[in-house]
Structure 1
Amino acid sequence: MIHFFFPLVIGGILTDAFGKLFAVIWSVIKWIGRLLKKLFQGLIDLLVGFFEVIYALIDGLLYFLYKIGVLAVKLFLLFFELAKMIVSLFVGFAKTLASLVYIPKGGSGHGYSEMLGKIFSSMKPLQLDPIAYILLFILWMFTVVAAIKLLSSIRVGGD
Protein backbone atom coordinates (compact mmCIF):
# COMPACT_ATOMS: atom_id res chain seq x y z
CA MET A 1 0.00 0.00 0.00
CA ILE A 2 2.88 2.31 0.59
CA HIS A 3 3.90 1.70 -2.95
CA PHE A 4 0.56 2.87 -4.09
CA PHE A 5 0.57 6.15 -2.12
CA PHE A 6 4.25 6.86 -2.62
CA PRO A 7 3.97 7.92 -6.32
CA LEU A 8 0.91 9.99 -5.48
CA VAL A 9 2.67 11.73 -2.61
CA ILE A 10 5.82 12.30 -4.61
CA GLY A 11 3.74 13.29 -7.63
CA GLY A 12 1.75 15.74 -5.49
CA ILE A 13 4.88 17.20 -3.98
CA LEU A 14 6.54 17.54 -7.39
CA THR A 15 3.41 19.00 -8.89
CA ASP A 16 3.17 21.47 -6.03
CA ALA A 17 6.86 22.34 -6.26
CA PHE A 18 6.78 22.82 -10.04
CA GLY A 19 3.49 24.74 -9.77
CA LYS A 20 4.99 27.08 -7.19
CA LEU A 21 8.22 27.34 -9.19
CA PHE A 22 6.34 28.27 -12.35
CA ALA A 23 4.15 30.68 -10.37
CA VAL A 24 7.30 32.42 -9.10
CA ILE A 25 8.81 32.42 -12.59
CA TRP A 26 5.55 33.78 -14.03
CA SER A 27 5.36 36.55 -11.37
CA VAL A 28 9.00 37.47 -12.12
CA ILE A 29 8.17 37.62 -15.85
CA LYS A 30 5.10 39.80 -15.12
CA TRP A 31 7.21 42.05 -12.87
CA ILE A 32 9.88 42.41 -15.58
CA GLY A 33 7.10 43.11 -18.12
CA ARG A 34 5.63 45.85 -15.91
CA LEU A 35 9.10 47.27 -15.36
CA LEU A 36 9.83 47.26 -19.10
CA LYS A 37 6.41 48.79 -19.80
CA LYS A 38 7.10 51.63 -17.34
CA LEU A 39 10.61 52.06 -18.76
CA PHE A 40 9.40 52.22 -22.36
CA GLN A 41 6.48 54.48 -21.40
CA GLY A 42 8.91 56.83 -19.65
CA LEU A 43 11.20 56.76 -22.68
CA ILE A 44 8.30 57.50 -25.03
CA ASP A 45 7.07 60.31 -22.75
CA LEU A 46 10.59 61.76 -22.72
CA LEU A 47 10.82 61.62 -26.53
CA VAL A 48 7.35 63.15 -26.94
CA GLY A 49 8.23 65.93 -24.49
CA PHE A 50 11.50 66.60 -26.30
CA PHE A 51 9.78 66.86 -29.68
CA GLU A 52 7.03 69.05 -28.20
CA VAL A 53 9.69 71.47 -26.98
CA ILE A 54 11.39 71.42 -30.40
CA TYR A 55 8.02 72.01 -32.09
CA ALA A 56 7.23 74.90 -29.71
CA LEU A 57 10.62 76.50 -30.43
CA ILE A 58 10.13 76.21 -34.19
CA ASP A 59 6.57 77.52 -33.86
CA GLY A 60 7.75 80.49 -31.81
CA LEU A 61 10.56 81.27 -34.25
CA LEU A 62 8.22 81.16 -37.25
CA TYR A 63 5.67 83.35 -35.42
CA PHE A 64 8.46 85.82 -34.61
CA LEU A 65 9.51 85.93 -38.27
CA TYR A 66 5.85 86.39 -39.29
CA LYS A 67 5.46 89.35 -36.92
CA ILE A 68 8.70 90.89 -38.24
CA GLY A 69 7.22 90.61 -41.75
CA VAL A 70 3.95 92.21 -40.61
CA LEU A 71 5.91 95.04 -38.99
CA ALA A 72 7.98 95.54 -42.16
CA VAL A 73 4.82 95.73 -44.28
CA LYS A 74 3.20 98.21 -41.87
CA LEU A 75 6.33 100.39 -41.85
CA PHE A 76 6.50 100.28 -45.64
CA LEU A 77 2.84 101.33 -45.90
CA LEU A 78 3.40 104.11 -43.35
CA PHE A 79 6.41 105.51 -45.19
CA PHE A 80 4.63 105.11 -48.54
CA GLU A 81 1.62 107.10 -47.32
CA LEU A 82 3.90 109.70 -45.74
CA ALA A 83 5.80 110.04 -49.03
CA LYS A 84 2.52 110.40 -50.92
CA MET A 85 1.43 113.12 -48.50
CA ILE A 86 4.73 115.01 -48.84
CA VAL A 87 4.63 114.73 -52.63
CA SER A 88 1.05 116.00 -52.72
CA LEU A 89 2.06 118.87 -50.40
CA PHE A 90 4.86 119.91 -52.76
CA VAL A 91 2.65 119.45 -55.83
CA GLY A 92 0.02 121.64 -54.17
CA PHE A 93 2.65 124.25 -53.35
CA ALA A 94 3.92 124.17 -56.95
CA LYS A 95 0.41 124.43 -58.37
CA THR A 96 -0.38 127.30 -56.01
CA LEU A 97 2.72 129.19 -57.07
CA ALA A 98 1.96 128.43 -60.71
CA SER A 99 -1.61 129.65 -60.34
CA LEU A 100 -0.59 133.00 -58.89
CA VAL A 101 -0.66 134.30 -62.44
CA TYR A 102 -4.19 133.77 -63.68
CA ILE A 103 -5.15 134.65 -67.21
CA PRO A 104 -8.85 134.35 -67.86
CA LYS A 105 -9.56 132.77 -71.19
CA GLY A 106 -12.48 131.37 -73.02
CA GLY A 107 -13.57 127.91 -72.05
CA SER A 108 -14.86 124.99 -73.94
CA GLY A 109 -18.27 126.41 -74.46
CA HIS A 110 -20.00 126.32 -71.09
CA GLY A 111 -21.23 129.55 -69.56
CA TYR A 112 -19.27 129.57 -66.36
CA SER A 113 -15.81 130.21 -67.81
CA GLU A 114 -17.15 133.00 -70.03
CA MET A 115 -18.91 134.51 -67.03
CA LEU A 116 -15.75 134.31 -64.92
CA GLY A 117 -13.80 135.95 -67.70
CA LYS A 118 -16.28 138.85 -67.76
CA ILE A 119 -16.07 139.22 -63.98
CA PHE A 120 -12.27 139.30 -64.02
CA SER A 121 -12.16 141.79 -66.90
CA SER A 122 -14.67 144.06 -65.16
CA MET A 123 -12.65 143.94 -61.90
CA LYS A 124 -9.36 144.93 -63.61
CA PRO A 125 -9.79 148.65 -62.87
CA LEU A 126 -10.08 147.91 -59.10
CA GLN A 127 -6.54 146.43 -59.12
CA LEU A 128 -7.38 143.68 -56.62
CA ASP A 129 -4.88 141.25 -58.14
CA PRO A 130 -2.06 141.86 -55.62
CA ILE A 131 -4.47 141.51 -52.69
CA ALA A 132 -5.87 138.31 -54.16
CA TYR A 133 -2.36 136.89 -54.64
CA ILE A 134 -1.41 137.74 -51.07
CA LEU A 135 -4.64 136.24 -49.68
CA LEU A 136 -4.14 133.13 -51.80
CA PHE A 137 -0.58 132.74 -50.51
CA ILE A 138 -1.71 133.28 -46.88
CA LEU A 139 -4.47 130.70 -47.33
CA TRP A 140 -1.95 128.24 -48.72
CA MET A 141 0.48 128.88 -45.83
CA PHE A 142 -2.27 128.31 -43.24
CA THR A 143 -3.12 125.06 -44.99
CA VAL A 144 0.53 123.97 -44.91
CA VAL A 145 0.91 124.88 -41.23
CA ALA A 146 -2.32 123.03 -40.37
CA ALA A 147 -1.11 119.97 -42.29
CA ILE A 148 2.24 120.02 -40.49
CA LYS A 149 0.51 120.40 -37.11
CA LEU A 150 -1.77 117.50 -37.96
CA LEU A 151 1.19 115.33 -38.98
CA SER A 152 3.16 116.23 -35.86
CA SER A 153 0.22 115.55 -33.54
CA ILE A 154 -0.08 111.95 -34.73
CA ARG A 155 1.68 109.83 -32.13
CA VAL A 156 2.68 106.19 -32.29
CA GLY A 157 0.36 104.12 -30.12
CA GLY A 158 -2.80 106.16 -30.57
CA ASP A 159 -2.22 108.96 -28.00
Structure 2
Amino acid sequence: MLFLTPYLFLSAGILGDAFGKLFKVIWDGIKWIGNLLKKLLHGVVDIFIGFFEIIYALIDGFLYFLFKVGVLAVKLFLLLFETAKLLWALVVGFAKTLASLVYTPKGSSDAAGYSEMLGKLFKSLSVLQIDVIAYILLFVIWMFTAVGAIKLISSIRVGGE
Protein backbone atom coordinates (compact mmCIF):
# COMPACT_ATOMS: atom_id res chain seq x y z
CA MET A 1 0.00 0.00 0.00
CA LEU A 2 2.86 2.17 0.66
CA PHE A 3 3.97 1.64 -2.84
CA LEU A 4 0.62 2.69 -4.30
CA THR A 5 0.34 5.98 -2.47
CA PRO A 6 2.77 8.04 -4.58
CA TYR A 7 1.19 6.66 -7.68
CA LEU A 8 -2.23 7.75 -6.50
CA PHE A 9 -0.95 11.21 -5.67
CA LEU A 10 0.71 11.38 -9.03
CA SER A 11 -2.46 10.33 -10.85
CA ALA A 12 -4.57 12.75 -8.76
CA GLY A 13 -2.19 15.55 -9.69
CA ILE A 14 -2.49 14.80 -13.39
CA LEU A 15 -6.26 14.56 -13.20
CA GLY A 16 -6.40 17.68 -11.03
CA ASP A 17 -4.27 19.55 -13.53
CA ALA A 18 -6.36 18.30 -16.44
CA PHE A 19 -9.64 19.26 -14.78
CA GLY A 20 -8.11 22.54 -13.60
CA LYS A 21 -7.02 23.39 -17.11
CA LEU A 22 -10.38 22.25 -18.51
CA PHE A 23 -12.33 24.42 -16.05
CA LYS A 24 -9.92 27.31 -16.70
CA VAL A 25 -10.64 27.01 -20.44
CA ILE A 26 -14.37 26.78 -19.76
CA TRP A 27 -14.20 29.78 -17.39
CA ASP A 28 -12.19 31.80 -19.93
CA GLY A 29 -14.81 30.91 -22.58
CA ILE A 30 -17.62 32.05 -20.27
CA LYS A 31 -15.76 35.31 -19.52
CA TRP A 32 -15.13 35.86 -23.26
CA ILE A 33 -18.83 35.25 -24.09
CA GLY A 34 -19.83 37.55 -21.21
CA ASN A 35 -17.54 40.31 -22.45
CA LEU A 36 -18.82 39.79 -25.98
CA LEU A 37 -22.45 40.05 -24.78
CA LYS A 38 -21.53 43.08 -22.68
CA LYS A 39 -19.96 44.82 -25.71
CA LEU A 40 -22.88 43.88 -27.95
CA LEU A 41 -25.43 45.09 -25.39
CA HIS A 42 -23.43 48.27 -24.88
CA GLY A 43 -23.39 48.79 -28.66
CA VAL A 44 -27.16 48.23 -28.92
CA VAL A 45 -27.78 50.66 -26.04
CA ASP A 46 -25.51 53.22 -27.75
CA ILE A 47 -27.48 52.82 -30.98
CA PHE A 48 -30.79 53.33 -29.13
CA ILE A 49 -29.43 56.37 -27.29
CA GLY A 50 -28.11 57.83 -30.56
CA PHE A 51 -31.45 57.22 -32.26
CA PHE A 52 -33.40 58.93 -29.49
CA GLU A 53 -30.91 61.82 -29.40
CA ILE A 54 -31.54 62.37 -33.11
CA ILE A 55 -35.31 62.22 -32.58
CA TYR A 56 -35.00 64.67 -29.67
CA ALA A 57 -32.85 67.03 -31.76
CA LEU A 58 -35.38 66.94 -34.61
CA ILE A 59 -38.28 67.68 -32.26
CA ASP A 60 -36.27 70.43 -30.57
CA GLY A 61 -35.38 71.99 -33.93
CA PHE A 62 -38.99 71.82 -35.15
CA LEU A 63 -40.31 73.45 -31.98
CA TYR A 64 -37.63 76.16 -32.21
CA PHE A 65 -38.66 76.74 -35.82
CA LEU A 66 -42.32 77.08 -34.77
CA PHE A 67 -41.28 79.49 -32.01
CA LYS A 68 -39.35 81.68 -34.45
CA VAL A 69 -42.25 81.62 -36.94
CA GLY A 70 -44.50 82.82 -34.11
CA VAL A 71 -42.05 85.58 -33.18
CA LEU A 72 -41.89 86.62 -36.84
CA ALA A 73 -45.70 86.63 -37.09
CA VAL A 74 -45.98 88.83 -33.99
CA LYS A 75 -43.33 91.25 -35.28
CA LEU A 76 -45.02 91.39 -38.68
CA PHE A 77 -48.40 92.02 -37.03
CA LEU A 78 -46.92 94.81 -34.90
CA LEU A 79 -45.28 96.36 -37.97
CA LEU A 80 -48.53 96.27 -39.93
CA PHE A 81 -50.48 97.57 -36.93
CA GLU A 82 -48.10 100.51 -36.44
CA THR A 83 -48.16 101.25 -40.19
CA ALA A 84 -51.97 101.20 -40.14
CA LYS A 85 -51.97 103.54 -37.14
CA LEU A 86 -49.63 105.90 -39.00
CA LEU A 87 -51.76 105.81 -42.13
CA TRP A 88 -54.92 106.33 -40.08
CA ALA A 89 -53.36 109.36 -38.36
CA LEU A 90 -52.38 110.69 -41.79
CA VAL A 91 -55.91 110.19 -43.15
CA VAL A 92 -57.47 111.82 -40.08
CA GLY A 93 -55.08 114.76 -40.34
CA PHE A 94 -55.78 115.11 -44.05
CA ALA A 95 -59.54 114.95 -43.41
CA LYS A 96 -59.28 117.58 -40.69
CA THR A 97 -57.31 119.78 -43.07
CA LEU A 98 -59.94 119.38 -45.76
CA ALA A 99 -62.66 120.09 -43.20
CA SER A 100 -60.87 123.23 -42.09
CA LEU A 101 -61.04 124.67 -45.62
CA VAL A 102 -64.54 125.85 -44.72
CA TYR A 103 -63.29 127.41 -41.53
CA THR A 104 -65.59 129.66 -39.54
CA PRO A 105 -63.81 131.34 -36.65
CA LYS A 106 -65.52 130.73 -33.33
CA GLY A 107 -64.64 130.92 -29.69
CA SER A 108 -64.77 127.22 -28.83
CA SER A 109 -61.59 125.24 -28.82
CA ASP A 110 -61.65 122.05 -30.86
CA ALA A 111 -59.04 119.27 -31.04
CA ALA A 112 -56.29 121.65 -32.21
CA GLY A 113 -56.86 124.10 -29.32
CA TYR A 114 -55.98 127.26 -31.22
CA SER A 115 -59.15 128.14 -33.15
CA GLU A 116 -59.82 131.26 -31.05
CA MET A 117 -56.37 132.58 -31.88
CA LEU A 118 -56.90 131.79 -35.54
CA GLY A 119 -60.22 133.62 -35.41
CA LYS A 120 -58.49 136.76 -34.12
CA LEU A 121 -55.78 136.38 -36.74
CA PHE A 122 -58.31 135.95 -39.56
CA LYS A 123 -60.23 139.03 -38.45
CA SER A 124 -57.11 141.15 -38.41
CA LEU A 125 -55.86 139.80 -41.76
CA SER A 126 -59.23 139.92 -43.50
CA VAL A 127 -58.32 143.34 -44.82
CA LEU A 128 -55.53 141.83 -46.94
CA GLN A 129 -57.82 139.09 -48.25
CA ILE A 130 -55.09 136.46 -48.20
CA ASP A 131 -57.16 133.85 -46.38
CA VAL A 132 -58.04 132.09 -49.65
CA ILE A 133 -54.35 131.87 -50.60
CA ALA A 134 -53.52 130.60 -47.11
CA TYR A 135 -56.16 127.89 -47.40
CA ILE A 136 -54.86 126.84 -50.78
CA LEU A 137 -51.26 126.79 -49.53
CA LEU A 138 -52.31 124.86 -46.42
CA PHE A 139 -54.07 122.32 -48.63
CA VAL A 140 -51.01 122.02 -50.91
CA ILE A 141 -48.67 121.55 -47.93
CA TRP A 142 -50.86 118.82 -46.48
CA MET A 143 -51.23 117.16 -49.85
CA PHE A 144 -47.45 117.03 -50.39
CA THR A 145 -46.97 115.79 -46.84
CA ALA A 146 -49.53 113.01 -47.38
CA VAL A 147 -48.02 111.98 -50.71
CA GLY A 148 -44.49 112.09 -49.26
CA ALA A 149 -45.55 109.97 -46.27
CA ILE A 150 -47.27 107.43 -48.51
CA LYS A 151 -44.17 107.23 -50.73
CA LEU A 152 -41.94 106.82 -47.68
CA ILE A 153 -44.10 104.06 -46.23
CA SER A 154 -44.43 102.26 -49.55
CA SER A 155 -40.64 102.38 -50.13
CA ILE A 156 -39.96 100.44 -46.93
CA ARG A 157 -39.15 96.87 -47.92
CA VAL A 158 -38.85 93.81 -45.77
CA GLY A 159 -35.35 92.91 -46.89
CA GLY A 160 -33.97 96.39 -46.18
CA GLU A 161 -33.09 96.91 -49.84
Q: Given the two structures, how large is their TM-score scaled by the length of structure 2?
A: 0.87
Figure out how many residues of one structure are paired with residues of the other and give that number: 156
**Counterpart residue number, 1:148:** 150
Given the alignment of the two structures, is residue 8 of structure 1 paired with residue 9 of structure 2, yes or no? yes
Task: Name the CA distance, whole Å, in 2 between partners of 1:71 and 1:113.
Answer: 45
Map 1:7-86 onto structure 2 (within 5 A): 7-86=8-87
Q: CA deviation at 1:27?
A: 0.4
Q: Could you say if the C-alpha distance between residues 152 and 100 of structure 1 is closer, same or farther in structure 2, counting changes exceeding 3 Å?
A: same
Flag as ranges the 4+ runs of structure 1 deviating above 6 A: none
Within 2, Cα distance between the matches of 1:52 and 1:115? 75
Counterparts in 2 of 1:133 and 1:35: CA distance versus 1, 3 Å: same
Structure scoring higher RCO (CA < 8 A, sep ≥ 6) equals: 2
Does the 8 Å contact 2:122/2:131 carry over to 1? Answer: no
CA drift of 1:115 comes to 5.8
Instruction: Measure the CA separation in 2 of the matches of 1:117 and 1:133.
Output: 14
Q: Report deviation, 1:2.
A: 3.3
Where structure 1 has 5 or more consecutive residues not aligned to the other structure, the ranges are: none
Q: Which whole-Å CA distance do the structure 2 matches of 1:88 and 1:113 have between them?
A: 20
Partner of 1:122: 124
